[in-house]
Amino acid sequence: MGEIKVVQSDITKARVDAIVNAANTTLMGGGGVDGAIHRATGPGLYIACRRFNGCPTGEARITSGFNLPAQYIIHTPGPIWHGGDGVERQLLANSYRNSLLLAEEYDCRTVAFPSISTGVYAFPLNIAAPIALTTIRDFLNTAKVVREVTMVCFDTQTLAAYRQAL
């Protein structure tokens, strides 16, 4: 069984095997975590992401970490919140699970996640945090490689929501 940690920090500084980027479906950079990661890596990430021709919501793609402390960046577009009547919850769980499957495939023992979809995509934190942590915990129960997952929270509100859900 692996370990889940919750911290407040800058994900671009995380010293882990892979960080997860809360990307948009184009993978070409944007605001929030996505913009910060693209700015921190320089133009190489844009070039690497262009070859994927995008990524559907809930799926994941992997690139090198370029000049970040992490060896890899796993990119996953989370769902946009439309009131919760649709498939947003399942798509959010898929983003976490598919990111972890790629981490496992690329022999990543340590993975750092941001809070996917809770920024400009408006997914309510009190709903997203339990989905994220349940999905991660379920994955760690059967993981062969991934041993430590850190939720890297951008602000105190996000940190509090994840600590409560943990």
Active-site residues, by number, are 34
Number of helices and strands in the chain (H, E): 5, 6
First to last CA, the chain: 15
Residue 120 half-sphere exposure, CB side, CA atoms within 13 Å? 10
Token pair in block for residue 14: 């995380």
Cβ(100)–Cβ(141) under 8 Å?
A: no
Q: Which long-range contacts (CB under 8 A, 24 or more apart) does 48-57 make?
A: 49/75, 52/27, 54/25, 54/26, 54/27, 55/23, 55/25, 55/27, 56/25, 57/25, 57/91, 57/95
